[in-house]
Amino acid sequence: MRLISINSRQISKRVLLTGIMFFLYGLLYTSTLHAASPDAIDISTHHQGQTTGDNYYYLVDKSNALSLSDVIANSSWTKSEPNITNRGFTSASSWMKFTLKNSSQTNFNIILEYVEASVGSIDVYHRRLGSDEEFTHANFTFSAPVEAREVSFYRPAFELSLPYLESHEVYVRIFPGDEFPMHSFTAMRIWDQASFYLATHIELTFLVILLCTELFMGFATLLVFFISRDKMFLYYSIFAFSIASLFASLSGVWGYFFARESYQLWMVVLQISLSQIAAIWFVRCFLNIRQISKMIDNALLVAIAVSIAGVIINLSGYPYYPRLIIDNIAFLYILLVPIGLFAWKKDVPHAGLFTFSWAVFILGMLTASLRLRGYLIDSFWLQWLIYLGGFIEAFLLTTIMVLRLRDMQHAKLKIELTHRQHLENYANELSQQVKLQTKQLLEAKEKAETEARVDILTGLTNRRAFIESAHGFLARANRQPETHLYLLMIDIDHFKKINDTYGHSAGDAALVAVANSLSETIRTIDVVSRLGGEEFAALMENKDPQGAINLSERLRKAIEELVIEHEGQQIKLTTSIGIAKWGPMDNLDTLMNQADRALYQAKESGRNCVNSSCFEHHQLRLV
């Protein structure tokens, strides 16, 4: 037992010692690998859009003041970490150093493409490895005109010729910009020219399809808004246009096609801010947040207000804080998913599909933001995930808007069907009542016409009805020249005195009494009317002029003999009458003027009399 124990402890010591030696050897080997120089990039096999990968050194210039000669002599170069090319948000310049070699027997004209569209400036320097030649220099500046770019493309790209069996050392300075921190990548894609233009044409085609889809959906929903007047379609239209603008900006297409002379980084921030405002407002309205949760609604309004403040600050020339605002708002987008689920639980129409489509869009936005911040390893698919998510989201949201339009049509049809059913249910009842209602309508019409033609106080026809009837009399008289037509203008004497002495109610009683006397004396085939105030008119046919004067005198006497009882008082009154005879050359106006002049003469003659001066060619006598 003792010997076994001793041998076991010796074996354990040997195993421990061996493990320590392997551990130290592993550390030494790892550090040796880490310190190894990056491999030269062979473009004969590396020209289909592959990136520089881990085959470069990088140097961070926080002063943004180092020149090419400074960085060549600098000893602080660091070998790239595996799969890490994103240097996060920074204002410092990043330098890359790598070697390109052409091991083939063919000259290569290659293109170096930066992986992002938004960057302050990029400088590329290259020369034959080991030579003392001057470096060939090319520059890309974001705000410069498009015509100044070495390669006409919407992302930074540079041409480089590499003869066969030669190697070139390449230095790249990546300056994010000094207005605000920007994402910075130490990665360049390597293309031969044919592959570059083929890939970029395919990429541009996809971008154009995406942008045209967004624009088409924006214009289509705008048209639906003008037809339906549903504001939701207007909000979605604005959102679609803002997303199209955002995608065009992020991809570099906006600056390349629409702002070729000058496009600034702050404009990119502005377009992102506007798209965020449109998106949050659309979500708020579509999910009916104001009705289902006041607290959430207030939070969304605060986010919109902060974004609007960011736009104002940006336009005032201070883009730093707006840049921070859009980053934080982008991360808050994830909260819109539970908000959508909450609305779905509250039975908001299509909230479930809306939340799913928004989740797709948010996935693209978040991955893009995490990629730009350096939290995710950069790759082609991550770069394009935001556009793919936007395309899917646009398709789903348009589907939702189509469903909303369908719901509106169904609601309209439902209302129409309900109304039709209602009509059918009450058809029999309405058919039974139609005759009664028609009769009532006719009676109401006759009553309305009568009230429009009758003086309410006296019951006689009013001035309007008198003029209509008089035109009929005159038309008939014109067709029958032998007709004798007479117009009597009748006015109560001192009517104002009656009102002033006995009151207006007494005056009304006097008017009624005179009207009754006129109605009793004049034939029903003739026309008697109250023209207004205390003035009456009568239009009658009489072959004998003497008969007209006699009738007028009977009227005068009948009124003179009236005794009006009013509130215990007896009121007597008289009238003055003017008579005019129609002639073939007379119209209603001239006839009424003649009668008015005769009435005036009767007043001048002392009142309570009949004046018939227009009958000077006839022997007339008063009876």
Tokens in use for 499?
A: 């009102």
pLDDT at 34 over 50: no
* pLDDT over 80 (residue 19): no
Render pLDDT for 90-111 as a digit per residue (tens, 0 to 9).
Answer: 889 999 999 999 999 999 999 9
Pick from 18-27, 66-75, 520-529 the range whose average pLDDT is largest: 66-75
Higher pLDDT, 427 or 98: 98
As a whole-number percent, the residues of the chain with pLDDT over 70 amount to: 91
**169 carries an active-site annotation:** no
Q: What is the pLDDT of residue 163?
A: 93
* Rounded-to-integer distance, Cα 376 and Cα 362, Å: 16
DSSP class of 148: G
pLDDT at 135: 94
As a dihedral over the C-alpha atoms of residue 393, residue 398, residue 403, residue 408, rounded to 10 degrees, the angle is: 140
User: What are the pLDDT digits (tens) for 464-501?
Assistant: 889 988 888 888 888 887 778 899 999 999 999 999 98
Which range (5-14, 56-65, 327-336) has the least confidence? 5-14
Nearest of 331, 338, 333 to residue 355 by alpha carbon: 338
Q: Which amino acid is at 585?
A: M
**How far separated are the first and last CA of the chain, in Å rounded?**
175
pLDDT of residue 134: 93
The Cα–Cα gap between 620 and 169 comes to 137
Residue 225 scores a pLDDT above 50: yes
Q: Is 1 exposed, middle or buried (0-12, 13-18, 19+ CB in 10 A)?
A: exposed
Domains of the chain, start order: 38-199 (2.60.40.2380), 205-412 (1.20.1070), 463-612 (3.30.70.270)
Among 189-193, 331-335, 513-517, where is mean pLDDT lowest? 331-335
> In this predicted structure, what is the pLDDT of residue 136?
94
Distant-in-sequence, close-in-space partners of 380: CB < 8 Å, separation ≥ 6: 49
- DSSP assigned state of 46: -
CA distance 106 to 162: 9
Beta-bridge partner residues of 488:
538, 579
The count of other CB atoms within 10 Å of the CB of residue 617 is 8
Q: Residue 86: is its pLDDT beyond 90? A: no
Closest to 225 (Cα-Cα) out of 239, 240, 237, 241: 237
Over the stretch 342-366, which tens digit does the pLDDT of each residue have? 888 888 888 888 888 878 877 777 7
Strand partners, 539: 487, 527
Identify the pLDDT of residue 411.
79
Q: What is the pLDDT of residues 547-600, one digit of tens each?
A: 888 888 999 999 999 998 888 888 999 999 999 988 888 888 999 999 999 999
298: tokens are 């207030």
Residues 474 and 483: their CA atoms lie apart, in Å, by 10
Contact by Cβ (8 Å): 186, 85: yes
The active-site residue out of 116, 169, 214, 534 is: 534
Better-scored residue on pLDDT, 622 or 280: 280
Q: What is the pTM of this model?
A: 0.58
Q: What is the mean pLDDT of the chain?
A: 84
- What pLDDT shows up at residue 33? 37
- Produce one character per residue of 142-153: b if its CB has 16 or more CB atoms within 10 Å, e if not: bbeebeebebeb
Cα–Cα distance measured from residue 483 to residue 545, given in angstroms and rounded to the nearest whole number: 12
Q: What is the pLDDT of residue 24?
A: 44
Q: Find the mean pLDDT for residues 284-298.
A: 89
Report angle CA 452, 458, 459 to the nearest 5 degrees: 50
- Identify each DSSP E strand in 197-304 by its residue range: none
